[in-house]
Structure 1
C-alpha cells in the first residue's frame, strides 16, 4: 500500500486515496515530449516573439519589405512547436534568423 505523511507520521492511504492514486495517468513519452517542448522551445520562442512585438506596430518606421520579413520571422517562430515530433528534433532545432 502507498504511504503518505500526516503530521510527521508515515501512514497508509485510505482505500479511496489509493484508488485515486492508482488511477492517475502515467507520465507517457508523449507527455514527457510535450513538457520538453514547453521548456526548451515554447518559452524561448515566446521571449523572441515578445522581443519582436515592436516590429508589428504601425509606427515602427520599417519599410513594407522589412515589415514582411519580420512577419515571416514571427510566423516561423509560431510554427516551431508543430515541427517537433521527437526529442531528437528538439536537439536539432534551429530557430529562424531574425531580420536585420
Structure 2
C-alpha cells in the first residue's frame, strides 16, 4: 500500500494530489546522474542520483525567465533553494545539467 492509498483510506472525502519533486531532475546527463559504481549495480539496484527541490527549481527557472523577458530555454543559471532544506541546481539552456543532491538530501557535489 502506498502513502497515497493510506491517505485516501484515512481521508476519503478530501481530494488528493501527488507532485513528484524529483521529476525536474529526470533528464540529467549521465555524468550528473550516475554514481561511480559498477554498471551492473546501477542496473540491478536502480542506483542513480535523483535530486530534490525540483518543484522549487522549476518555479525559479520559469519565474527568472519571466522576469528577464526570456524563454526558459535561453537561461544559463545556478539556482539555490534555501528553506525547508538547501540545494543547488545548474541549468544550461533551460535544461538541468547538475544538482547538489543525489539519493539523499545529505549528498553534495
Point out the structure with the larger strand share. Answer: 2
Task: Give the TM-score of the pair, scaled to structure 1.
Answer: 0.31
TM-score (norm 2): 0.29
User: Bigger radius of gyration, 1 or 2?
Assistant: 1
Higher relative helix content: 1
